[in-house]
């Protein structure tokens, strides 16, 4: 790193300058091990991946950098459905997380009173039961002939969702709805915690002031609470959308072959098909798309100083 960035002390003043030079080097010594770790095991792998994505060859003959961008052009038409699906599922799950998470975050911040800590624990605690086990539990909950499916069938909800293409054949498991349900569930805490943090910072007197000025609760929410909680909304959205877009666990466990997300493709290309260039190209495209979406979103929401 830029340890050498500090100018060397002139020798004539060496005795006077020595302690201050040493002090100036302190931050670099503190940074060195961690930053080296990230450079070698985060940044360098990205470079390797970039080079792998423009290689051609096979596992038997070996791979060679040929600067063939064809891998990208071949991968896109083959796998664009999985790409679109990933963005669509992740986007829907993020929106649902926001709709479900906001009332709960609001409840914890303003209404829970002495129950606040307990509710917070209940939000975080599911984290500690392995998320794969919890995702498998959804298989039981959404099972054909289970209570949830029966209720939805009786209320004719499944007819509507089937018409929308979310479910099939009066079942929920192995449909897009199951995958989105799993994604929403798994990433809810990532939405609730930032929302709660930003709601908690709001001064309760602002609500009273709005009420004194004859604002209805709805107006108070729209004009005071929501704008002030925007940093939480933005970071919650990012913390939900980014991991959800690359996830393949929910799609694999709760979905079918028709609900595969791009993560599944990358995983199987890398670990089963062993077509490294295609896998690398796909994950590069995913990274680019996510970074693009995130950048545009942060610009739009006007909270650039957030990160």
Partner 1 sequence: MPVLRWIRRNLVVLAGLLTLAYMILPNVVVMVFSFNRPGGRFNYAWQEFSLDAWKDPCGVADLCGSLSLSLRIALWATVGATALGTMIAFALVRYRFRARGAVNSLIFLPMAMPEVVMAASLLTLFLNMGAELGFWTVLIAHIMFCLSFVVTAVKARVMSMDPKLEEAARDLYAGPVQTFVRVTLPIAAPGIAAGALLAFALSFDDFIITNFNAGSTVTFPMFVWGSAQRGTPVQINVIGTAMFVIAVTVVLAGQIVANRRKSNAGK
Residues 237-296 that bind partner 1 (CB under 8 A): 238, 242-243, 245-249, 253, 263, 266-267, 270-271, 276, 279-280, 283-284, 286-287, 290-291, 294
Buried b (16+ CB within 10 A) or exposed e, 137-162: ebeeebeeeeeebeebeeeeebeebb
Site string for partner 1, 156-185 (x = CB under 8 A): -----------------------------x
Cβ neighbours of residue 7 under 8 Å, at least 6 residues apart?
A: none
The binder of partner 1 chosen from 34, 77, 113, 204 (CB under 8 A): 34
Residues 6 or more apart whose Cβ sits within 8 Å of residue 254: 135, 138, 139, 142, 173, 174, 178, 179, 181, 182
Min. distance of Cβ 286 from partner 1 in angstroms?
6
| Minimum CB distance to partner 1 smaller for 158 or for 298 | 298
CB of 222 to partner 1, least distance (A): 14
- Tell which positions 83-102 bind partner 1, by CB under 8 A: 100-101
The least CB distance from residue 98 to partner 1, in Å, is: 11
Beta bridge partners of 168: 171
* Distance of closest approach, residue 262 Cβ to partner 1, in angstroms: 8
Site string for partner 1, 101-120 (x = CB under 8 A): x-xxxxxx--x-----xxx-
Structure tokens at 306: 């957030």
């Amino acid at each position: 790193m830029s340890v050498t960035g500090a100018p060397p002390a002139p020798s004539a003043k060496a005795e006077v300058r020595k302690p201050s030079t040493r002090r100036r080097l302190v931050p670099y010594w503190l940074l060195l091990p961690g930053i080296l770790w990230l450079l070698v095991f985060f940044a360098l792998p990205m470079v390797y991946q970039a080079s792998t994505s423009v290689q051609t060859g096979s596992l038997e003959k070996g791979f060679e950098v040929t600067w063939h961008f064809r891998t990208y052009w071949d991968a896109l038409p083959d796998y664009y459905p999985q790409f679109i699906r990933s963005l669509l599922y992740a986007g829907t799950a993020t929106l649902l997380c926001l709709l479900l998470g906001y009332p709960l975050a609001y409840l914890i911040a303003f209404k829970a009173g002495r129950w606040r800590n307990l509710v917070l624990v209940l939000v975080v605690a599911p984290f500690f039961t392995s998320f794969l086990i919890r995702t498998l539990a959804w298989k039981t909950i959404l099972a054909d002939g289970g209570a949830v499916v029966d209720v939805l069938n009786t209320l004719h909800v499944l007819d509507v969702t089937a018409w929308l293409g979310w479910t099939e054949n009066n079942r929920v498991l192995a449909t897009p709805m199951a995958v989105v349900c799993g994604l929403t569930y798994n990433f809810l805490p990532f939405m609730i915690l930032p929302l709660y943090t930003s709601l908690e910072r709001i001064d309760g007197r602002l609500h009273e002031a709005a009420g004194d000025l004859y604002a209805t609760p709805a107006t108070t929410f729209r004009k005071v609470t929501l704008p002030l909680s925007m940093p939480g909304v933005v970071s919650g959205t990012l913390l939900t959308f980014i991991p959800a877009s690359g996830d393949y666990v929910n799609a694999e466990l709760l979905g079918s072959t028709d609900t595969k997300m791009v993560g599944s493709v990358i995983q199987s290309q890398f670990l089963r098909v062993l077509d490294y260039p295609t896998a690398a190209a796909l994950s590069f495209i995913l990274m680019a798309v996510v970074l693009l979406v995130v950048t545009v979103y942060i610009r739009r929401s006007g909270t650039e100083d957030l990160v």
